[in-house]
Chain A
Amino acid sequence: MAGVLAVFPHLDSAVHAIDELKRKNYGDITVYSPTPRHELEEAAAAPVSKVRVFTLVGALLGVSFGYWIMIWISEYWPLVVGGKAIATWIPYTVFGFEVMVLVGGLSTVFGMFGLSRIPRLTMTVGYDGRFSHGDYGIFVAAAPDKSAEVSELLRKHGATEVRNER
């Protein structure tokens, strides 16, 4: 994906640049920061993560499977004790709960991976190693004819380095 990448040493400069880029709508913006910052999140105005859907679906599947496998085992291999039910929900709640946590937790993680588009094998376009240390980054997927204009805007807001990526 082609575009313009800018490196900002200061958080507030990056926030101001994002505000103006959003107003002028040059293209999709990706913001990089060494740690999550609510200032950047608000400026980027991204929707709430959908990870919760994966959590809910995984938890429901897990709890259902946990109860089902134990009831099925009890019916398939009955251990008959006088006066006791073959399958009973009270002890099986342990399995229902544990498998709910297991599947719900793992589906949350896989949901996060899918939504974040990781694992990623290459990251040569639109990334700089400084973004994990202390600098902030903005990548704008701008059309080639707009890249000079975008670069100018980013420099105006305090970018210490601006480069075209393709």
Chain B
Amino acid sequence: MAASAAPLSPLDETPRPNIPTAAVRLPAVKDYEQVDNEILATLRPSAGWFAALGVAILCLLIGAATWIYQIYEGLGAAGYHPPTMWGVYIITFVFWVGIGHAGTLISAILYLFRAGFRTSIYRMAEAMTVFAVMTAGLFPILHLGRPWKFFWLIPYPNWRLIWPNPKSPLVWDVFAILTYLTISTTFLYIGLIPDIAVLRDRETNPVRKRIFALLSLGWRNSDREWRHFTRAYLFLAAFATPLVLSVHSVVSFDFAMALTPGWHATIFPPYFVAGAIFSGIGMVFTIGIPLRKYFKLQHYITLNDLDAAAKLCLFTSMVVGLAYLTEFQIAWMSGNQVEQDYFWNRVFGQWAWAAWIMLICNMVLPLSLFSQKMRRNPTWLFILSIFINIGMWFERFVIVVPSLSHEFEPWQWGSYAPTWVDYAILLGSFGWFFMWFLLFIKQLPVVAIAEIKEIVPPKMSHAVHGHGQPGGSH
């Protein structure tokens, strides 16, 4: 636990979130030594951390055991039967891919836009991205009756000379998700190299020092290294930004390319991207706010940072809300009775309860963020983030299940009920995600040391005009 300065009261912070000067951004952080000491103190394991890790591993084991049972019994054990052959697994796949969006959004897009509030939260958001995409990647495999054949989607020379169909959105998905996972992991690792060098230089245990030396690649903080590093980081951010937009667009094509009521719409790519960013920011709050309190990082992740992130959350909520309403308008103006029946069924039919959960959690509750008082209230942001996570999971439920169970002809209509197998594997996915995240936060700094130091004024032998202004070129 960090032996840190007392957190500022809300009244002590100037509410000007995006001006990246030390006096405004991090008023309680005085020098580089304080940054090193306080952030590295978060790496010491504690009883609470071990307990949380134990719960995560238990959930993972429940999910893994259930998967073995499902492989033995077949996908019928998960409640799949015609016409609803996509259910909780595809819903949860889209849910986790969506959560994986905020990390690269916060890291890359906000970096290009020089948004000041990015610095303190981007590391945990990037880690969240990598682990969320790792979790999402499991679900198409879990959804297979013969999961050991998953590699058939990858174009590789094989003895039967069969190749995947490159016109199928499912193959686009494989490329998009694997590219996203690779670039997001690379982006996380590159940003970590200078911080791993800090760990290497302070470590006294020879084995850990050697491991950190290998992971830091012999980084020495030289001008040559920083010069190429900052330029490479910029280009990676420039690549990652359109990648964020492309990945969830491609995921939306899984639906939009099908001639199914409620799916076949050109609005899907922007609708999915906005929803992904919205759900990702929700998960950043879910993870970041407890970490901020537990590690006493209030003067690094300030109320100004939360305020700015909450504004982004509000904006994406309104985009998502507009997309929900536009879908109804498109159905109304289409003159297509099947489409109109589907949307009527969405809000008043068998699955209406799910649609209303979605609308209330994603459209109504985030409107509270118009109030600055609520945006600067971490407890409310945490509670709201749980509602957003629930609402976004149900958004995908509303997209997948009512469409498949209510297609063109009444004889095609059917029902779907998730079974305990679905719920156990859903629980296991949370266990998998949090296990990796908890291991990460005890091995590597959850707040970027080198970038925080860029904001903190350097030591000067003489008073310099403009002291405290951002001087870093990163």
Contacts and interface: CB of A to CB of B under 8 A. Distances in A.
Interface of A: 9-13, 30-41, 44, 46, 48-49, 51-52, 55, 59, 69-70, 73-74, 76-77, 79, 88, 91-92, 94-95, 97-99, 101-102, 104-106, 108-109, 111-113, 115-123, 127, 129-134, 137, 158
28 contacts: A12-B461, A32-B220, A32-B223, A33-B226, A35-B450, A37-B458, A38-B472, A46-B223, A46-B227, A49-B231, A51-B235, A73-B155, A73-B164, A76-B161, A91-B166, A94-B175, A98-B176, A105-B240, A108-B235, A112-B190, A116-B229, A118-B218, A121-B218, A127-B220, A129-B200, A133-B33, A134-B36, A158-B461
**Max chain A C-beta neighbours (<10 A), residue from B167, B218, B450, B464:** B167
A41 B250 contact: no
B209 to A, nearest CB: 10
B163 A77 contact: yes
Nearest to B189: A109
Contacts of B175: 94-95, 98-99
B228 interface: yes
A102 B450 CA distance: 26
A30 B222 contact: yes
Contacts of B239: 55, 59, 101, 104-105, 108
Interface in B168-184: 172, 175-176, 178-179, 182-183
Given A73-B166, A132-B198, A133-B198, A123 B218 contact: yes
Contacts of A122: 218
B473 interface: yes
B472 A106 contact: no
A113 B472 contact: no
Given A35-B450, A102-B183, A132-B197, A120 B473 contact: no
A41 B227 contact: yes
Contact of A13 (B165, B200, B461): B461
Contacts of B73: none
A113 B232 CA distance: 10
B130 to A, nearest CB: 14
Interface string B1-40: 0000000000000000000000000000001110010000
Contacts, number: 198
B243 A101 contact: yes
Interface in B460-474: 460-462, 464, 471-474
Interface in B342-387: none
B31 to A, nearest CB: 7
What 8 pairs across the A-B complex have the smallest Cβ distances? A120-B218, A129-B201, A134-B32, A112-B232, A49-B231, A119-B217, A10-B461, A31-B223
B155 A69 contact: yes
Given A44-B223, A55-B235, A118-B218, 7 more contacts: A31-B223, A33-B226, A99-B175, A118-B219, A120-B218, A121-B218, A134-B33
Given A77-B162, A132-B197, A36 B472 contact: yes
B445 interface: no
B453 interface: yes
A105 B231 CA distance: 12
B459 A9 contact: yes
Nearest to B243: A101
A76 B155 CA distance: 12
B186 A105 contact: yes
B407 interface: no
Given A77-B163, A79-B165, A132-B198, A34 B221 contact: yes
Contacts of B218: 118-123
B231 A91 contact: no
